[in-house]
Structure 1
Amino acid sequence: MQIEILFEDDYIIIVNKPNNVLIHNSYYARNIKDDTLLDLLQKQFNTDFYPVHRLDRKTSGVIVLAKQKEHVSIFQDLFNANKIEKTYIAIVRGFFETEVVVNSPVKNPDTKVYKEAETFCEPIATKLLEIPVHPYQTSRYSLVKLKPATGRMHQLRIHMNKISHPIVGDYKYGDRFHNRMFETEFNSHNLFLHAYSIQFEHPISKKYISVNTSFPNDWLLIFKVFDWNFN
């Protein structure tokens, strides 16, 4: 599997992570034996990289990795200080038509402690399908832009479910009937959450970095079927 490179300099590499690829091995995913993103990059470049931030296995899109371990904390400081802007695109259940800020706390899976979390949600497009999904005779979907102000685990998935617009393909927090419809009608089993872009001032070079990603193939199919254009 060839990993798409979005940006590279002497300090970092920014790549487009595919769906269902772990960034690195962990206790929570100890039963998954497939190559991780770090494994794939090591094979591709014959060198090691060091993740600066997290991205769920099921989420595709932009992720920043440092070339030297000692540089990780320099870039992580940008995240901790909210000096990095990340934009995600998601397909959710129902018609989502109004901007909203979701600020309900999210529970840490390790400590079981709830932490403050905030996500800005913006509608992009909607689609009504003449395909019945229990308990309705039609099905409705929305394309949305999500900007997290915090970085809690599963934050976007939890927040969208909290406001009754779960992300399609989310088998933990989502709607099984809509997930099943996407499997049956579109042969899609992936989570429709994509880390689309990232912007920040490079802490070493001081250059402004702005990177957008391409979408996975299952997204392109849905864009075509739903007649959605996104640039």
Structure 2
Amino acid sequence: MSSLHLPLIHLDAELVAIDKPPGLLVHPSQLDAHEQVTAVQLLRAQLDAPVWPLHRLDKATSGVLLFGRSVEVARTWGRAFEAGRVRKRYLALVRGWPAEIGCTQQPLARDPERPSAGQPHLPACTRWRRLACFEWPFQVDARHASSRYALVEVEPTTGRRHQIRRHFKQLGHPLVGDSTHGKGAHNRAVARWLGHSRLWLHALALEWTDGPRPLRLAAPCGPEWQGLLPAGAATHNLPPMPDLPTDSPRCCDTSPSP
């Protein structure tokens, strides 16, 4: 992967964004100390200039990844991400059929790699909208002759590590292809059915519309997603996520902080 040319989806004097392929670390990590190639390293070589990652994507996640081209830009955007001003939208394939729309605000332990007992738990909030339901004719659970999955659009309004993956596990709808928080039998069965093995999580779009310079970025899904996508999703033209029903907890206010 050291010769990989990263696809650019935005480039100007201050910012650069790539469509990160799955399987690529953003920056060096002690958890993957054997990995010698990172997105930061590749992009610096590709541009022959320094860059600073402005947010995180898990190694197995694909999609929009934004970098600053100066320390000042990185600082400004870093504060915006921390304040929740930058909206991020993902597509995910999950087990089962979750509610059509919903929101969870279950606090998450700071470090997902360690036992949660004794750790501080941080506020975390994730909204979702179900886009499509599937019932595929293969058996994973002995109780059922077929297996159910759903495509969801997800908007995390906080940025905890593995937030989407952990929240959907808590909801009983773990992401397909998640070797840490999912179930291997389902991961293998879907990989055979779709002919592709991956974590089914893609960072579809990112936007900061009330910043000093409004920006909207999007990364189209790879070809492995095409058979799953409803109209509009493939070209990131989904309508705005609807409000929750009035009897649902208003846990995910996405309005910018003052």
Scaled by the length of structure 1, the TM-score of the pair is 0.90
Do the aligned partners of 2:131 and 2:230 also contact (CA within 8 Å) in 1? no
The one-letter code of the counterpart of 2:56 is R
State the shift of 1:187 in Å: 3.5
- Structure 1 residues 202 and 6: alpha-carbon distance in aligned structure 2, compared to 1, 3 A threshold: farther
Consecutive unaligned residues of structure 2, counting only runs of 5 or more, are 236-258
Listed as ranges, the matches of 1:4-153 within 5 Å are: 4-33=7-36, 35-109=37-111, 112-135=119-142, 136-153=144-161
The match for 2:199 among 191, 201, 211 is 191
Offset from partner CA, 1:196-216 (integer Å, 9 cap, x none): 00110474xx33211111112
In 1, distance between residues paired with 2:210 and 2:84?
14
State the shift of 1:96 in Å: 2.3
State the shift of 1:2 in Å: 1.9
- Structure 1 residues 141 and 41: alpha-carbon distance in aligned structure 2, compared to 1, 3 A threshold: same
2:225 match: 219
SS in 1 for 2:43: helix
SS in 1 for 2:31: coil
Do the aligned partners of 2:95 and 2:176 also contact (CA within 8 Å) in 1? yes
SS in 1 for 2:13: coil
Scaled by the length of structure 2, the TM-score of the pair is 0.81
Listed as ranges, the matches of 1:167-206 within 5 Å are: 167-201=175-209, 203=211, 206=212
State the shift of 1:228 in Å: 4.2
Do the aligned partners of 1:18 and 1:216 also contact (CA within 8 Å) in 2? no
SS in 1 for 2:78: helix
Consecutive unaligned residues of structure 1, counting only runs of 5 or more, are none
The one-letter code of the counterpart of 2:23 is N
State the shift of 1:183 in Å: 2.8
Do the aligned partners of 1:91 and 1:143 also contact (CA within 8 Å) in 2? yes
What number of residue pairs does the alignment pair up? 224
SS in 2 for 1:28: helix
Deviation beyond 3 Å, 4+ runs, structure 1: 226-229
* Alignment root-mean-square deviation, CA: 1.8
- Percent of aligned positions with the same letter in both sequences? 27
